[in-house]
């Protein structure tokens, strides 16, 4: 294990996010007292799951590897039920642990399986994607998708600890790494402008190759999220700022039938939220323009189809963050100064969309 950074998350159930390389060795101390550990993983992560199972076995913990379908296909009630059957067959008790090895979908599922088993057992996400490290794995949101929509069934269930093993990013395909950067950019605008300076000074190629920069970006983004969820686990106030760029982003994902990468949709959503704040007279043009510039520099999309506006508006009105039919947007009043734009009128919404669609 090389140098390890511990980022604390406070609250009723405090835990640390560990950032570093080759971190699997830290797992046994996070799950002390467990006799059994279910290791949920998607097929591409079998090698890593096997390594974790072997390491736990050597420490006297009985590992139960459970393969689940990759990505969103694994976040279903049927898959969760299959996991619970296996926990039951293995005699899982309150002191046992669920480990989720994978991207955001697998860790969301693992957390949900743990949240419901015996009304809540410990769990540890071992995040293997950039998006998972800086978003899904931190903050205790767990859940599955149902016919009614994505993430509508779930629980707040903070983990016992989070492993962000940067060595796992060495083999992450470049497009996935780039998509994950959209959430990092979001953290830069809502709370930590140094992130933006780092990205502007080290555009894509060097960021991808230079571990030092990538590590600093992960640590800074995790710190932003850790600080927010430390004071508002249940999204009763401050946590809403993590939704910056997501209102239009979620609508694009829905209109695209979830075939667009989440990070790509959030990227367009960030440009839109900045345009909205500028059109509303709340954000200066330079900071608004910086959104498009930094996202484009990273190779992320910054525009979307003009003719999609009616569908996007309809999708935003049923977003789970909307209040009744009134739309709410996280916007910026300045760099690092997020606030809420509540119930903007249709003309403002449309004018901001024209900047995204180029119409």
Which residues are catalytically annotated?
A: 119, 141, 183, 225, 235, 239, 243, 246, 250, 262
What is the signed CA dihedral for 63, 64, 66, 71, rounded to 10 degrees? Answer: -30
Neighbours of 229 (CB within 10 A): 23
First to last CA, the chain: 52
Q: Strand pairing of 62-67 and 97-102?
A: unpaired
Q: Which is nearer to ligand GLY, 169 or 226 (CB)?
A: 226
Residue positions forming the annotated binding site for NAD(+)? 70-75, 104-108, 128-129, 141, 150
CB of 141 to ligand GLY, least distance (A): 5
CB of 207 to ligand GLY, least distance (A): 22
Q: By the criterion CB under 6 A, which residues form the site for ligand GLY?
A: 135, 139, 141, 239, 242
Distance CA 221, CA 198 (A): 12
Distance CA 209, CA 170 (A): 9
Helices (H), the chain: 27-30, 46-58, 77-89, 104-116, 130-131, 174-190, 193-201, 204-209, 211-231, 246-255, 262-279, 285-297, 309-317, 346-357
Q: Which is nearer to ligand GLY, 239 or 337 (CB)?
A: 239
Residue positions forming the annotated binding site for Zn(2+)? 183, 246, 262
> Residue with structure tokens 């996010």?
17
Q: Which is nearer to ligand GLY, 29 or 320 (CB)?
A: 320
CB of 343 to ligand GLY, least distance (A): 22
CB of 232 to ligand GLY, least distance (A): 9
Residue with the shortest CB distance to ligand GLY = 242
Q: Which is nearer to ligand GLY, 38 or 133 (CB)?
A: 133
Residue positions forming the annotated binding site? 70-75, 104-108, 128-129, 141, 150, 183, 246, 262
């Amino acid at each position: 294990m090389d140098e390890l950074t511990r980022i604390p998350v406070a609250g009723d159930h405090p835990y640390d996010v560990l950032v570093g390389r080759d971190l699997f060795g830290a797992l046994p101390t996070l799950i002390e007292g467990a006799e059994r550990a279910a290791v949920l993983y998607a097929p591409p992560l079998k090698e890593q799951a096997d390594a974790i199972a072997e390491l736990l076995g050597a420490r006297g913990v009985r590992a139960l590897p459970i393969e689940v379908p990759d990505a969103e296909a694994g976040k279903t009630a049927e898959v969760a039920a299959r996991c619970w059957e296996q926990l039951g067959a293995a005699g899982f008790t309150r002191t046992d642990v669920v480990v989720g090895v994978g991207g955001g979908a697998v860790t969301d599922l693992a957390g949900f399986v743990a949240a419901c088993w015996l009304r809540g057992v410990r769990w540890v996400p071992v995040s293997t994607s950039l998006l998972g490290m800086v978003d899904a794995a931190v903050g205790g949101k767990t859940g599955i998708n149902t016919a009614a929509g994505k993430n509508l069934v779930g629980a707040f269930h903070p983990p016992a600890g989070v492993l962000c093993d940067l060595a796992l990013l060495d083999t992450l395909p470049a497009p996935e790494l780039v998509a994950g950067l959209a959430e990092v950019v979001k953290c830069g605008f809502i709370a930590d402008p140094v992130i933006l300076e780092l990205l502007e000074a080290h555009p894509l190629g060097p960021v991808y190759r230079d571990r030092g920069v990538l590590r600093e970006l992960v640590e800074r983004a995790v710190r932003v999220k850790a600080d927010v969820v430390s004071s508002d686990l249940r999204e009763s106030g401050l946590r809403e700022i993590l939704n910056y760029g997501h209102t239009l982003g979620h609508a694009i994902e829905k209109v695209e039938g979830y075939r667009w990468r989440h990070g790509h949709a959030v990227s367009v959503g960030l440009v839109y939220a900045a345009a909205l704040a500028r059109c509303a007279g709340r954000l200066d043009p330079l900071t608004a323009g910086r959104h498009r510039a930094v996202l484009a520099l990273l190779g992320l999309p910054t525009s979307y189809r003009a003719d999609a506006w009616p569908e996007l508006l309809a999708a935003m009105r049923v977003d789970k963050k909307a209040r009744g039919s009134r739309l709410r947007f996280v916007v910026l009043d300045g760099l690092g100064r997020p606030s809420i734009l509540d119930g903007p009128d249709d003309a403002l919404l449309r004018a901001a969309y024209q900047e995204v669609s180029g119409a």
